[in-house]
Structure 1
Amino acid sequence: MSARIMPKRAVIYTRVSRDDTGEGQSNDRQAKACQQLCDMRGWVVVREPIRDIAMSGYSGKGRNGWTEVMRMIEAGEADVVVAWHIDRMTRNMADLEKLIDIAEKQGVGVATVSGDIDLTTDVGRMVARILGAVARAEVERKAARTRLKNEQKASQGLPHLGGPRPFGYQEDWMGTIPAEADAIRLGAKMALAGETYAAIAQLWSSKGLNPPRGFGKDWTSEGVQNCLTNARNAAIRVYNGKQVGPAAWEPILDLDTYLRLTEIDRSPNRSANSGRTGRAPQNVLVGAFECGKCEGPVIASTKPRRGELRKTYACKAGHVFIERDIAENFIEGAAVARLSRPDAANLFSDDEPEDQQAVQAEITKLNDRLKMMSRMLGAGTMEQEDYEDAAGVARGLLRDAQNRLRTRTAPDFEGLSLGTGAVASQWKELSMARRRTIIRLLFDIKLMPVGQGRRIDRGEIDAKDRFVITDLEPART
């Protein structure tokens, strides 16, 4: 009696590098042809076809299907691997050598619809290597063609259509979506006025505006930061991380606003003033006043007293402390009262003292210079590196002039009806970051130590006895 010959066990593998329809039809066609080959050879397919969709055969990244095929070969669960063509398995020579090595050790064959390759023989391995080299050359030629195409599109200012659509723009990446574009403009306005990215993220999420697909359900401070500082919003075309010229799509932000956003994002004071990390301020008066004895900073702290923890503001050296809510009610009340006074509008009136007019003229001149350079950059007549060098010098001079002027500008008080009783209700709507900024602009504040022998139980000493507040004169009188 002759021994019974067992049919070979086959595993079918299919792969497509793209699947624009999302239906996997190309994989289905490959699987059908491979199944017909197995039927004709009398091979038994041991499981459903294993497939990879939208995966590169060159990079090999994320090819879970092929990883499973290799596992089956090493485990001795298949005698032959069946595919449409050798380049469906791999276009990477290193991966091909790994397949050859395993197939030789396990005695596994490779069959393709376009012809068998026996990797257990030297001729079969030579043919596989030749086909692999041809496939790799095709990948490189395709990459070169794609690169030239993308460079041409970038030089023409056309968008690179890949991935989710950017926030603010339609699916064609050209026209804007009004609600999202308005949100970007409002976010830019808020950021330039000192709001945190976290506050902007909360506002956008509350309006039901979703981040781009794949970036989570709600906005984060990092997402807002990346959105607002994206050159796309100013219709600047970027290619390989470099700005290459004006774009063909509609801008959402003017060039000057975009550049101001990128500048405050690089500012060393950004973390303190605007919460670069995205963490919302926890206490409104941190950084707003100092110790009246050592002139050191006063921080938020917690003090145990009579079996409970009391939230306080305290000097690091231990000279002064006060209940947080008492201090906040008093200082914020003083700010509201100051902003409600009839002369509050003079905080940024145009009637300037004679000695400040020269500084203001210098600021205007520097701003005009920055705008001119911005236009040159946007028009492509100025290189990015040259712009950064020149703008860096101009902005340094501008910051120096602004510090000398010590001016407060309208955006700092935006949303407040200065000089009216409406300020009290409007103040409550401001974010904590805005309230902190305005308090620091309005006042110089010191917290004084309690007199010798006086008790400091809650409520015993009025806050007005503890604080020395210097109400700064209007920046422009």
Structure 2
Amino acid sequence: MAEKIPEWPGGHRGDVSTKLDLAPICDLPPRNAPHADCMRLQWWRKSQMTHLDGRHTASVRLVVIENPRVLGVVRISVGRDETTSPQRQREHIEHWCAGPSVLGTIVGWAEDLDVSGGVSPFKRPELGKWLNRRAGEFDVLCVWRLDRLTRRSRHFAELVDWCNEREKVVVSTSESLDLSTPMGKMFARIIAAFAEGELDTIQARSLDASRRLREGGAWFGGVEPFGYRFADRKEGGKRLVQDPVYAPLLRSLYERVVAGTPVNRLTKELNRQGIPTWRDHLRRESGRPTRNTLWTSKAISQALMNPRSAGYLLHKGEVVEGSDGRPVLITDEPILAVAEWERVVRALSVTGAPRTRSPSSPSLLTGVARCGLDGASLYVKRNTVKRAYKDAPDVYSSYMCRHAYSGAQRECRTAVGQEVLDLAVEQALLTCFAEDEVYERRETSKPALEEELRLVAGRLGRLEDDFTAGRYDGEGQEESYHRMHRRLAGKRTALTRQLEELPDVELIGTGRTFRELWAGKNLDERRSFLLDHDVRVLVWKTGRGLSDPHLKIEIPDVAYLRESAGLQGGRSAEPFIVDVNVPDDLRGVPVAEAIGREVISGPHPGIPS
């Protein structure tokens, strides 16, 4: 008993038997067709019937679809070839669909521009949507040529199987193939294989062109890196030039990061000011709608750490080297110099460093000042007192020995006013270094030369390995090898000689004095300066109040302090000692030898500051 098949959208199929097996064919023009429009869209339907005696018979019927729903498929890799332009492909598909023997309706277009033929049809941006989510909305998949569908034999076979399972027809308006027959399938596979071979040839040419562009320092594909725009070269290809807006922005970000500004603070400032991100800036410049994305700390760090900010050309994430072993530059005007880029990379690469916490009671000499009797550290104690007069402070701070009032050391009553001791130490420093000029230590080009030497040595090693492996055995290649080897070996020798003669750093005058440098530091920076340069302060107890202490101030290594702080000129490099209200037998004695010696209260001559 024959079963009624549901009516096909847009046409009628007729009655066939159960257990149908469908195989599509495409573009079969009748023998008497006067022109190409007289094509019939048809299927061979295989039906199977089971008789009462158990025998099976199969029959094949030809079914014609009327008014099919057509999905036009357009693809192009690069929109420069007029022969395969999207408009020409559309015209071919529309002409076929409007033919008197088809009279189909185009229900949509899957138009993929700048998409390689090596991409699977199921993964293409537009066609993939129709195949994966809208398969029930069309009957025919129509292309101008099969290579517009795919250039991979494997992808073509997958698509044909997909169409067979879902009763779809693949139509090529320029190639007449019957995919229901073994011969038609064979020819379709041959065409797909030729298309795949053509794709391999195109890719080989593209790779060779990219290699030549890389060697010539030309840009060979991708989105403009942060702060750069494209500019055409006379020799072909493109170079990078600075963007007038975002190149200065990147420069400003670099200066603030190396100055110590946290990246997350920069992120908040950019978002608060409403400055578009780099990608939104490119979209706006090209006339596309922006996405209003926000700045992130990761995006700023990646832009600064990108080697392209220093002008380097990259390929697959690696810096491209020329035949001489040196990095190839992609721009004549890098936003950052190589030394600056290396500096910001070092600054941003320090992660997980312990953060220094400010003491709960911040003071200049915490950890610096010690008790003269036992060498114990002094701490800051704040006392609230009744005001003696109207403008008098109600809180007094003093440095006290941590052993005061603690068990066996109860007799130690060393104490001195905080402001008095801080002022005495600052005056001692300024006495020694006030008018010394501050110099800035700047790295010379030595790090860049070391990196260049490393690249040259690497290039020379690879060249020798290639020679050993026999890659220069061809005619005339050995002479080329020896020529490159002599050039690279000579460059390595010259760089080694330069590095031996070049200092690591150079000092450049800033025009400021140590007095100005000290005035510009905050409390934590001043305290760190004293600790880093081993400034020592020793205090003895006094019976004359907190404002007239016995103390000794020592800078044991003046030469190291000058070198570390970048100071030039001033006094000799001998240890510097200041004694205030100490007896003659302790004057000039280093702090380490003075600890434990008692000072009797009374007037002692101090060294004038």
TM class by shorter chain equals 0.5 to 0.7
Q: TM-score if structure 2 supplies the norm length?
A: 0.47
In structure 2, what residue type is equivalent to 1:9? P
Root mean square deviation, CA, Å: 4.9
2:127 pairs with 1:66: yes
Whole-Å separation in 1 of the counterparts to 2:229 and 2:427: 44
Q: Render the CA deviation track for 1:412-442: whole Å, top value 9, x for unaligned.
A: x9xx97455xx59xx8xxxxxxx98x48845
* Pair 6,191 (structure 1): closer, same or farther in 2 beyond 3 Å: closer
Unmatched tracts of structure 2, length 5 or more: 1-13, 15-62, 232-238, 282-291, 321-326, 367-421, 462-503, 532-552, 568-609
Q: How does 1:306-345 map to 2 (within 5 A)?
A: 343=430
Match of residue 177, structure 1, among 243, 257, 261 = 243
CA contact (8 A) 1:15 1:51 kept: yes
Whole-Å separation in 2 of the counterparts to 1:220 and 1:37: 52
Partner of 2:302: 226
Whole-Å separation in 1 of the counterparts to 2:91 and 2:357: 71
Q: Render the CA deviation track for 1:211-233: whole Å, top value 9, x for unaligned.
A: 32259644321111111111112
Partner of 2:316: 240
Q: How does 1:35-434 map to 2 (within 5 A)?
A: 35-40=94-99, 41-45=101-105, 47-60=107-120, 62-70=123-131, 75=136, 78-163=138-223, 165-172=224-231, 173-205=239-271, 209-213=275-279, 217-244=293-320, 245-249=327-331, 250-267=333-350, 270-272=351-353, 287-289=357-359, 343=430, 369-376=446-453, 381-383=456-458, 418=517
Q: Render the CA deviation track for 1:424-469: whole Å, top value 9, x for unaligned.
A: 9xx8xxxxxxx98x4884577xxxxxxxxxxxxxxxxxxxxxxxxx
1:151 partner SS: helix
Whole-Å separation in 1 of the counterparts to 2:449 and 2:176: 67
* Pair 191,150 (structure 1): closer, same or farther in 2 beyond 3 Å: same
* Pair 251,351 (structure 1): closer, same or farther in 2 beyond 3 Å: closer
Partner of 1:9: 68
* Pair 84,417 (structure 1): closer, same or farther in 2 beyond 3 Å: farther
Whole-Å separation in 2 of the counterparts to 1:48 and 1:351: 74
Task: Tell me the CA shift for residue 123 of structure 1.
Answer: 1.8
Q: TM-score if structure 1 supplies the norm length?
A: 0.58
Whole-Å separation in 2 of the counterparts to 1:340 and 1:208: 48
CA contact (8 A) 2:79 2:85 kept: no
Whole-Å separation in 1 of the counterparts to 2:445 and 2:153: 58
1:16 partner SS: strand
Whole-Å separation in 2 of the counterparts to 1:237 and 1:167: 14
CA contact (8 A) 2:76 2:86 kept: no
CA contact (8 A) 2:226 2:309 kept: no
Whole-Å separation in 2 of the counterparts to 1:59 and 1:105: 22
* Pair 80,168 (structure 1): closer, same or farther in 2 beyond 3 Å: closer
* Pair 46,243 (structure 1): closer, same or farther in 2 beyond 3 Å: closer
* Pair 142,74 (structure 1): closer, same or farther in 2 beyond 3 Å: same
Structure with the greater alpha carbon radius of gyration: 2
- RCO comparison, higher one (Cα < 8 Å, 6+): 1
In structure 1, what residue type is equivalent to 2:349? R
Q: Render the CA deviation track for 1:262-313: whole Å, top value 9, x for unaligned.
A: 233333xx3447xxxxxxxxxxx86334899xxxxxxxxxxxxxxxxxxxxx
Whole-Å separation in 2 of the counterparts to 1:175 and 1:264: 26
2:240 partner SS: coil
CA contact (8 A) 1:91 1:132 kept: yes
Partner of 2:536: none
In structure 2, what residue type is equivalent to 1:144? A
1:171 partner SS: strand
Whole-Å separation in 2 of the counterparts to 1:181 and 1:344: 46
* Pair 42,92 (structure 1): closer, same or farther in 2 beyond 3 Å: same
* Pair 62,344 (structure 1): closer, same or farther in 2 beyond 3 Å: farther
* Pair 37,167 (structure 1): closer, same or farther in 2 beyond 3 Å: same
Task: Tell me the CA shift for residue 47 of structure 1.
Answer: 1.1
Range with bigger deviation, 97-106 or 136-145:
97-106
Whole-Å separation in 2 of the counterparts to 1:236 and 1:217: 28
CA contact (8 A) 2:141 2:169 kept: yes
Task: Tell me the CA shift for residue 101 of structure 1.
Answer: 1.5
Partner of 2:53: none
In structure 2, what residue type is equivalent to 1:238? L
2:241 partner SS: coil
Whole-Å separation in 1 of the counterparts to 2:431 and 2:150: 73
Higher percent of residues as strand: 2
Partner of 1:313: none
1:94 partner SS: helix
CA contact (8 A) 1:110 1:117 kept: no
Whole-Å separation in 2 of the counterparts to 1:190 and 1:71: 49
Task: Tell me the CA shift for residue 69 of structure 1.
Answer: 4.3
Task: Tell me the CA shift for residue 86 of structure 1.
Answer: 0.9
Whole-Å separation in 2 of the counterparts to 1:348 and 1:232: 43
CA contact (8 A) 1:341 1:418 kept: no
Unmatched tracts of structure 1, length 5 or more: 274-284, 293-334, 353-359, 387-401, 403-408, 428-434, 445-469
In the comparison of the two structures, how many residue pairs are matched? 345
In structure 1, what residue type is equivalent to 2:265? A
Whole-Å separation in 2 of the counterparts to 1:238 and 1:59: 25
Task: Tell me the CA shift for residue 102 of structure 1.
Answer: 2.9
Whole-Å separation in 1 of the counterparts to 2:435 and 2:448: 23
Higher percent of residues as helix: 1
